[in-house]
Structure 1
Amino acid sequence: MSGKSRAEQRFERHLRDHLLVEYRQLMDEDQESEETLEAHALLTDAVNARATDLHLDPFPDQYRVRLRIDGMMVDAMEVSYDQGRRLVNQFKAMATLDPIPSVRCNEGSFVYSLDETDLDLRVTAIPCVSGDKLAIRVLSPPEAVQDIQELGIPSEGVEWIRRWMDATGGMFLVAGPTGSGKTTTLYALLHELKLSDSHVITLEDPVEYEIPGINQIQVDPMHDLTFANGTQAMLRLDPDYVLIGEIRDVPSAQAGISVATSGRSLMGTLHSRDAVGTITALRNLGLDDYEIAANLGLVAAQRLVRKLCPECRTKGKPDNIEKQWLRQCGREVPDETWIPVGCPACNNLGFRGRIGVFEVWQLTEDDYARILRHEDELSLRHSLIERGQPLMLDDGLAKVEEGFTTLRELLRTGVLLSHHSPSELDTQEK
Structure 2
Amino acid sequence: MNTSFTFSGQLLKAALLRESTDIHFSPFPSATNIYFRILGKRMLYKKITPQHYHLLLSHYKFISGMDIGETRKPQNGAYQYQQNNASYSLRLSTLPLNNMESLAIRILPQDQQYSLQDLFLFPYQVKRIKEWIANRSGLILLTGPTGSGKTTALYTLLETILKEKSYQTITLEDPIEKELQDILQVQVNEKAGVTYQTGLKAALRHDPDIIMIGEIRDKYTASFVFEAALTGHLVLSTLHAKNAVGTIQRLLEMGIRKMDIIQTLIAVASTQLIPLHMPNTVQKRAAILELLEGEYLEKAVKGVDVHDFQLETFEKLRRKAFAYGFINEETYHETK
TM tier relative to shorter chain: over 0.9
2:306 counterpart letter in structure 1: R
Report the Cα offset of residue 367 of structure 1: 4.2
Determine whether 1:88 maps to 2:57.
yes
Report the Cα offset of residue 85 of structure 1: 1.6
Query: CA–CA distance in 2 between the matches of 1:130 and 1:238?
Result: 51
- What stretches of structure 1 move > 6 A for 4+ residues in a row? none
RMSD of aligned Cα (Å) = 2.0
Query: CA–CA distance in 1 between the matches of 2:225 and 2:247?
Result: 14
* Matches for 1:323-362 after TM superposition, within 5 Å: 352-362=283-293
Report the Cα offset of residue 309 of structure 1: 5.7
Counterpart among 267, 270, 282 of residue 251 in structure 2? 282
TM-score, scaled relative to structure 1: 0.73
**Unpaired segments ≥5 residues, structure 1:** 1-31, 313-344, 346-351, 417-430
Secondary structure, counterpart of 2:133 in structure 1: helix
Q: 1:153 to 1:363 in 2, by over 3 A?
A: farther
Query: CA–CA distance in 1 between the matches of 2:20 and 2:252?
Result: 36
Q: 1:130 to 1:124 in 2, by over 3 A?
A: same
**Structure 2 partner of 1:184:** 152
Check whether the contact 2:145–2:242 (CA below 8 A) recurs between aligned residues. yes
Q: Deviations over 1:361-418 (max 9, x none)?
A: 2222x643663xx32xxx3323xx42x23222222222222332234434434xx3xx
What is the percent sequence identity of the aligned residues? Answer: 29
2:128 counterpart letter in structure 1: W
1:392 counterpart letter in structure 2: F
Secondary structure, counterpart of 2:244 in structure 1: coil
**Structure 2 partner of 1:128:** 97
**Structure 2 partner of 1:368:** 298
Query: CA–CA distance in 1 between the matches of 2:300 and 2:5?
Result: 59
**Structure 2 partner of 1:57:** 26
Counterpart among 174, 183, 187 of residue 142 in structure 2? 174
Q: 1:169 to 1:380 in 2, by over 3 A?
A: farther
Determine whether 1:222 maps to 2:194.
no
Determine whether 1:154 maps to 2:122.
yes
Secondary structure, counterpart of 1:397 in structure 2: helix
Report the Cα offset of residue 35 of structure 1: 4.5
Query: CA–CA distance in 2 between the matches of 1:120 and 1:270?
Result: 22
TM-score, scaled relative to structure 2: 0.93
Q: Deviations over 1:254-284 (max 9, x none)?
A: 2211222222111110111111111111111
Query: CA–CA distance in 2 between the matches of 1:78 and 1:135?
Result: 15
Counterpart among 388, 398, 404 of residue 320 in structure 2? 398
Query: CA–CA distance in 2 between the matches of 1:307 and 1:355?
Result: 7
Check whether the contact 2:272–2:287 (CA below 8 A) recurs between aligned residues. yes
2:315 counterpart letter in structure 1: L
Q: 1:106 to 1:154 in 2, by over 3 A?
A: same
Counterpart among 361, 381, 386 of residue 306 in structure 2? 381
* Matches for 1:176-215 after TM superposition, within 5 Å: 176-195=144-163, 196-215=165-184
2:171 counterpart letter in structure 1: T
Query: CA–CA distance in 2 between the matches of 1:370 and 1:176?
Result: 17
* Aligned pairs, number: 335
Determine whether 1:113 maps to 2:82.
yes
Query: CA–CA distance in 2 between the matches of 1:294 and 1:184?
Result: 27
Q: 1:93 to 1:309 in 2, by over 3 A?
A: farther
Report the Cα offset of residue 78 of structure 1: 1.1
Query: CA–CA distance in 2 between the matches of 1:411 and 1:227?
Result: 41
Report the Cα offset of residue 48 of structure 1: 0.7
1:368 counterpart letter in structure 2: E
Query: CA–CA distance in 1 between the matches of 2:122 and 2:88?
Result: 30
Higher gyration radius (CA): 1
Check whether the contact 1:250–1:285 (CA below 8 A) recurs between aligned residues. yes
Q: Deviations over 1:72-106 (max 9, x none)?
A: 11011112221222222222222122333611111
